[in-house]
Structure 1
Amino acid sequence: MITKSFKNIPKPHKWMISSIAAFLCFLFLFPSEPVSAYRNTASTLEVGKRYDLAVNFDNLPINEFSGLEELNEVRSFTVKKGDNLAIIFKRAGLTPQDTYHVSKAGDDASKLLRMKPGQNLDLEIDKSGKLISLKYPYSTTDTLVIEHDANDNFVSKVQSKKVDTRLNYAQGEIVSSFWNAGREANLSDNQIMSLAGIFGWDIDFALGIRAGDQFYVTFEEHYIDGEFIENGNIVAAQFVNQGDSYTAVRYTDGNYYTAEGRSMRKSFLRAPVNFRYISSNFNPKRFHPIQKRVRPHNGTDYRASTGTPVVASGDGKVTHSAYNKYNGNYVFIQHPNGIVTKYLHFSKRKVKKGQRVKQGQVIGLVGSTGMSQAPHLHYEFLVAGVHRNPRTVSLPKAEPIAAKEKSKFMVLANQAMTQLDNNKRIMLSMTY
């Protein structure tokens, strides 16, 4: 057996030394030269018997094993609320200088300013405490990598995984509610809301849905290395509401159009908030529940949870963003053609007076400030100073698809609708 102590030998090399010793034993027991050359030696060895082998490790040059470096430690840190790069580096035992050099590692390094709680930061640190590299997977497909270049300076780059996009299909028929029908069709919550958003200018999803209404959807699914990652955009859809059929196709500009190229959008949204239900409709003769007297209700109350985002129903300029004891936190927006929209009872306002906003931009959060009994949005729609019912007022359409894009869109739309119809026929044949 090997009798020399390993005490003074570095741990990473012990396995190599043991292997060398074992190999030397093998040479003695099983020589590769003709047996006659070692006849005298072989005759003195017995198979199965262990023999001591004197090996002088004191003169063994350790630097011959310098290529067997220990692996650097990789430590993963989860971003907590209030964390920034400096705080995380301090937890890792790194210096403010490390923070500075990493933050100056190039344009991509600015992504570290947008870290969110729950995300991870992987730091490779050597035994001397020096930062070797950083990896920050900020999405399912993209990872920020910061490492040393040839001049030992930190540089940044983004590594992206290839995403495979496939198309899937779903359809449903409404029995009790649109939401339940979407769930039955295996659509995600976001897909259900997206579908309502696409057709929300033409269909009243609060009060206009009926049992027997149907929807058909072609949508993207994203895969990485054959593994499902997330749902993508709705590519094409059809909704049959009370016998009327509406179709929508997504174009490369991110907007939805009818199969003929007319915009699905109107100049204004019917409902500027994702609501649970309408708690009070437009009613010029409503009995006020707090003031206990008949007082016109010049808008629509959309009941929703506190903190639910409220968006601008159309492009315009903020004329009021303030608070009073009646409206609570409120925002008024002036739009073209003499139209004004009003939003009352916010828990928090997100825009300032004089600011220009775009349709769909968040302007506040649902609350119950001012004269309000429960969290909701009170929404008013005025035309030339006259209050109109925001749920029934005629809304002008947005611009159709650009003329120069029309022919390209029609090719895409025909393909999308043909695919949607084929899927409908396949599903129908499987039913019978």
Structure 2
Amino acid sequence: MTDHRGLPDPAPGRRAGGRRRTGWISLLLVLGLSVALWRVHGFYELRGAAEVAAGVETPAAPELPRLREIVGSFEKNQTVNEVLLHQGLTPDTVYQIIEAARPVYNLAKVRAQELYWLYFTENGEFHDFRYPVDSERYLTVYRDGKEGRFVPVMKHYRFDTERERIDGTIESSLFAAVVEAGGGVDLAMELVEIFGSDIDFNTDIQKGDAFELLVEKKYLDGEFSRNGPILAATMTTGGKTFTGIRYDDENGKPAYYAPDGKALKRSFLKAPLKVIRITSRFSMARRHPVLKIVRPHLGVDYAAPTGTPVQAVGSGTVTFAGRKGGNGNMVRIRHAGGYETAYLHLSRIRVKTGARVSQGDVIGNVGSTGISTGPHLDFRVWKNGKAINPVKVAFPPGKPVAAERMARFGEHADALLGQLRLSGLDTKQAALEPVSDR
């Protein structure tokens, strides 16, 4: 891939000592530049021959700059100022690069082991500097040849996207099954997010359950870069199949819906942790493991390693965030509809009393503070002041697709489900854009 000046895009997320060596990347970049040069000059040679034969005067082909390239990486605690000075740039040039970039990206945030690209003209003058900001964008600061000023540009990588069908049957765990089927842990986590309001992946999943995914995969220069979103999915567990379709909600944000337009994401998540196992259930008469007395346990204990992120199961206002006797570090949240939730024994609290939180926000981390035998989360739910079993509560549904948008949604869903049902999906169909009513 090349930019508007015929130079190759830097590759996202490629770090020194990572998946690819710097020398290999440099070779690819040089080859990419050579191909770009050949294509431009080859085009003009062919065009020139045709126009001479027709008696037409051929305009001179534009000359692409001949540049010297340097590919390097930032060491730990190394600043962009140090690196650019070490590469021979003058202090004034370094200052102008950093200041020009500031409105677009603060170069004080460069990451250790991340690669950078520098280009110089034949006479040794600075041409441009490039740095991958994230997996989607890279920063370019170049010197305008006419005006001499330094220009920052934040550019998006030009990925090729393909659609791929992934399916599998669970033998030991969902994560292992998705990875074995050719997906990744990221897809397994996304699958949990999609169906997390209908399926408790810690208690409902059993051997023999199955899944199907239609995934958008991203490629850069012909090489796989990363997984895009899940476009459609089915999850079969306990003899029941759940289906999810990705579609923009009325605010333009991606969401998942059942084929009939009902929102999959409810007003509350089924659990506050993504990867957990239940060690103690809701009970009105449980023998306390530390106090050795029988008393009510008005929540569910989820075992998880210390530091595991704890997320708010629904949007609301934090009514308490602090130490609470035997409950240890605790967060309590008031939600709409008379619901309240509490998260006990946290190692760290990440919110303050009075704060507004959204569903999925990280509010703390699993710990073992207070009266506890080991790292776990005690999760509790109240409805109108009465404690209820978090595992059995039926939370209200989310907002469905609006009636006036259902026709377009139906077309979109049919197209995606049609591809999901194809056992040998031709990934070249990726060029097809999903139906949108925007």
Name the TM-score class by shorter chain.
0.7 to 0.9
For the residue of structure 2 that corresponds to 1:296, the secondary structure is strand
1:250-329 paired onto structure 2 within 5 Å:
250-252=246-248, 253-329=253-329
Deviations 1:260-303 (A, max 9, x none): 11000111011111233112222221111111111222111222
1:73-152 matched pairs, under 5 angstroms: 74=70, 76-78=72-74, 80=76, 85-86=80-81, 88=83, 100-105=95-100, 109-123=104-118, 133-149=128-144, 150-152=146-148
In structure 2, relative to structure 1, the CA distance for the partners of 1:236 and 1:411 (3 Å cut) is: same
Larger RCO, structure (CA 8 Å, separation 6 or more): 2
Once the two structures are TM-superposed, the CA of residue 104 in structure 1 deviates from its matched residue by: 2.8
Write out aligned runs for 1:386-425 (5 A): 386-423=386-423
**Any gaps of 5 or more consecutive residues in structure 1?**
1-68, 427-432
Provide the C-alpha distance between the structure 1 equivalents of 2:373 and 2:93, rounded to a whole number of angstroms. Answer: 53
Partner of 2:244: 248
> Unmatched 5+ residue regions in structure 2?
1-64, 427-438
Distance apart, 1:414 and its partner CA: 0.9
For residues 101 and 211 of structure 1, do their structure 2 counterparts lie closer, same or farther at Cα, with a shift above 3 Å needed? same
CA contact (8 A) 2:419 2:425 kept: no
Question: 1:73 Cα deviation (Å)?
Answer: 7.2
Q: Distance in 2 between matches of 1:310 and 1:113?
A: 31
Q: Secondary structure at the match of 1:286?
A: strand
1:362 lines up with 2:362 in the alignment: yes
Structure 1 CA distance for aligned equivalents of residues 83 and 332 of structure 2: 43
Compared with structure 1, are the counterparts of its residues 235 and 70 closer, same or farther at alpha carbon in structure 2 (3 Å cutoff)? Answer: closer
Are the counterparts in 1 of residues 262 and 401 from structure 2 also a CA contact under 8 Å?
yes
Deviations 1:108-158 (A, max 9, x none): 632535433432233457999986532102234532111222333221013
Deviation at 1:417, TM superposition (A): 1.3
1:10-89 mapped onto 2 (5 Å cutoff): 74=70, 76-78=72-74, 80=76, 85-86=80-81, 88=83
Question: In structure 2, how many angstroms separate the alpha carbons of the residues matched to 1:424 and 1:75?
Answer: 41
Retained in 2: the 8 A contact 1:298–1:387? yes
Aligned residues: 357
Structure-to-structure mapping, 1:171-186, within 5 angstroms: 171-186=167-182
Kindly provide the CA deviation profile for residues 341-400 of structure 1, in whole angstroms up to 9, marking residues without a partner as x: 111222222211111111111111222222222222221111111111111101100110
Contact 1:108 1:157 in 2 (8 A): no
Once the two structures are overlaid, the 10-residue window that deviates more, 137-146 or 295-304, is 137-146
Tell me if structure 2 keeps the 8 A contact 1:103–1:109: no
* Structure of higher CA gyration radius: 1
Partner of 2:54: none
* Distance in 2, Cα, partners of 1:190 & 1:278: 23
Please name the residue that 1:54 is paired with.
none
**Cα distance 1:126–1:219, how it changes in 2: closer, same or farther (>3 A)?**
closer
CA displacement 1:10-46 (0-9 Å, x = unmatched): xxxxxxxxxxxxxxxxxxxxxxxxxxxxxxxxxxxxx
Residue type of the partner of 1:147?
Y
The SS at the match of 1:228 is strand
Matched, 1:213 2:209: yes
| 2:377 alignment partner AA | L
Q: Does 1:165 align with 2:192?
A: no
